[in-house]
Chains A and B, each alone.
Chain A
């Protein structure tokens, strides 16, 4: 239950400053309005909508998720955490926090997309929901482990998307095609292979992240 306590601690310190939530919300609004300005009056097709949806998700994640570990290094509290909890517990706590953040962020993005983009109409909702859940978990896990690397590397801000993108690419490519399928109204059975890929990705990333976190965390 220590992981949950760590999550509570992160949540409290987040609610006190609201740094990540505020900057994420503003980032989402800015990114979507840039897309809307560039589209203008043009009606874009489903293919582009599905791609742009994940572009916004990727860059929003990159702007917000590094905080979890970078803030510990900045405040100099990483050593205390090392003393009071096992590495896997620390990772669990941070992972829960990031998963909650990703789910909140992507729900807002999806709602904004549904409201603002004419072509973003989900015909197969169960498929979209499955993609959404599995994709968010994968996104949170990969971003959390890369955030840990970045925090130890001296929190180089520009390096975060550079390191995360190749790791997230299989997830993003499959999620884009799944989102496109759910907009097109393709049946669940036809997309089962893609869903299996995303599920595999999640499982592989979770196990690798837990195995490797020890080496990042302990200097």
Chain B
């Protein structure tokens, strides 16, 4: 229970700090963020947009890991875990796409411009969509689990192409692209200590939130199955 309150406080602090702390040219106090040329006030999205994109990939990774586990052990619980992870993944994927598009409107002037990053998040959205379409097409439980596990593994091995290769070879506008001279590679960007601290706190907070949601998700799936079985028997 304590950690839930802690998580609530952490995420509240991150949200408030991320939105209200001012951006100034020469930060002196602990609550001031530095000015990054080319990003300015728009830089604040990093506290919310990056965690959602990060969790999209984490959810996908977990879904694939449990798919592999299912194929090895043939335990339907693993399939439920994989499904719960993918359900959260598509939510975070939509959030990352929408927050990114809104940010792009102010930073680049249009909601969508087929930047490599936008292309890759769109491809992830398509993969998730196709995965759910495949699951809904198969009635038989173990067959559905096996085929969707195979598909999620095949889809997952194409993800490195989208996340790491595409943005490096295509000219892009996203901070961290191959030809980005303004704000540099994403990790050593010109953030000062407190900005980095809040960024990493936000990442940690959102990741814990994700695992919590995932646990509730798969437990509810397992309970649903149990009730269904009882209903069929009785």
Contacts and interface: CB of A to CB of B under 8 A. Distances in A.
A associates with B: yes
Interface of A: 142, 145-146, 149, 152-154, 156, 159, 162-163, 165-167, 169-170, 173, 193-194, 197, 201, 204-205, 208-209, 212, 215-216, 219
B119 A219 contact: no
A194 B166 CA distance: 10
A-B complex: 4 closest residue pairs judged by Cβ atoms: A170-B161, A166-B127, A166-B126, A212-B150
A170 B156 CA distance: 12
B133 interface: yes
Given A154-B138, A201-B158, A215-B71, 5 more contacts: A159-B133, A163-B130, A166-B126, A173-B119, A208-B154
Contact of A166 (B71, B143, B158): B158
B62 to A, nearest CB: 19
18 contacts: A149-B150, A153-B134, A156-B137, A162-B129, A163-B133, A165-B130, A166-B123, A166-B127, A169-B158, A170-B161, A170-B166, A193-B169, A201-B158, A205-B157, A212-B153, A215-B149, A216-B147, A216-B150
Nearest to A212: B150
A153 B140 CA distance: 9
Interface in B158-213: 158, 161-162, 165-166, 169
Given A173-B166, A204-B157, A215-B71, A159 B143 contact: no
B166 A166 contact: no
B155 interface: yes
A208 B165 contact: no
A167 B154 contact: yes
Contacts of A193: 169
Nearest to A193: B169
B102 interface: no
A193 B166 CA distance: 11
Contacts, number: 75
Contact of A201 (B130, B150, B161): B161
B161 A197 contact: yes
A215 B151 CA distance: 11
Contacts of B119: 173
B95 to A, nearest CB: 19
Given A167-B154, A201-B161, A149 B123 contact: no
B153 A197 contact: no
B146 interface: yes
A146 B151 CA distance: 8
A75 to B, nearest CB: 20
Contacts of B162: 169-170
A173 B119 CA distance: 10
Contacts of B123: 166, 169
B157 A153 contact: no
B184 to A, nearest CB: 22
A216 B153 contact: no
A197 B146 contact: no
A170 B143 CA distance: 28
A193 B157 CA distance: 19
Contacts of A146: 151, 154
Nearest to B135: A153
A163 B143 CA distance: 17
